[in-house]
Structure 1
Amino acid sequence: MSEVAVNKTKKRFIAGAVCPACSEPDKLMMWNEDGVPHRECVACGFTDTLNEQGLSVPKELGTRVNHLAPKAAPAKVQTVQFFPNPKLKKPAE
């Protein structure tokens, strides 16, 4: 059998850290993937990515619309002519 080296990232608990979602202390794990720090709460499942300064990178909202609205089809232009109806007479004053 051949042995395959598996690169498993080591997750570590951060002492004294409080989860920003559920406010539970000492439940946050941190790890690095490709030099980018990530954190996860084992109590509520909250996950987050941090930037170089250690600040949270906001995730894009699921309700956000990023695609362009489809263009409306050009309206067909038609000439319309109205004729007076002789059966409709204005009442005499």
Structure 2
Amino acid sequence: MTVIKRFVAGAVCPRCGEMDTIRIYRNEIREYRECVKCDYVNGQNIDGSPDEAELETRVNKKPDPAPTSKPLMFVPNPALKKKDSK
């Protein structure tokens, strides 16, 4: 099978910012775009399904369940209050 690569008129490369350097091609399951100036390549599935699971980061991580320990409650020492008021 011969791959046909077509240029996209007016497309700007997201990496180098050059116009009219992006070409697009596809195989049976994926569609690719690449820049002929800076060798930028990006692909996506034709059917729109995600490529793979997203990497876990601190931004998209699920919050921890309720904490198992209770917070400490500090109460003033009544003996110190009596000494300070004299």
* Structure 2 length-normalised TM: 0.51
- Higher-RCO chain (CA-CA 8 Å, sequence separation at least 6): 2
Structure 1 residue runs of 5 or longer lacking an equivalent are: 1-6, 62-93
In angstroms, what is the RMSD of aligned CA positions?
2.7
Distance, in Å, in 1 between the alignment partners of 2:33 and 2:20 is 12
Aligned to 1:23: 17
* Structure 1 length-normalised TM: 0.47
- Residue 39 of structure 1 and its aligned partner are, at CA, apart by 0.5
Structure 2 residue runs of 5 or longer lacking an equivalent are: 56-86
Greater Rg, structure 1 or structure 2? Answer: 1
The structure 2 residue matched to 1:8, chosen from 2, 12, 24, is: 2
Paired residue secondary structure (1:24): coil
Structure 1 segments, 4+ long, off by >2 Å, are 50-54
More helix by share: 2
Distance, in Å, in 2 between the alignment partners of 1:40 and 1:14 is 10
Number of aligned residue pairs: give it. 52
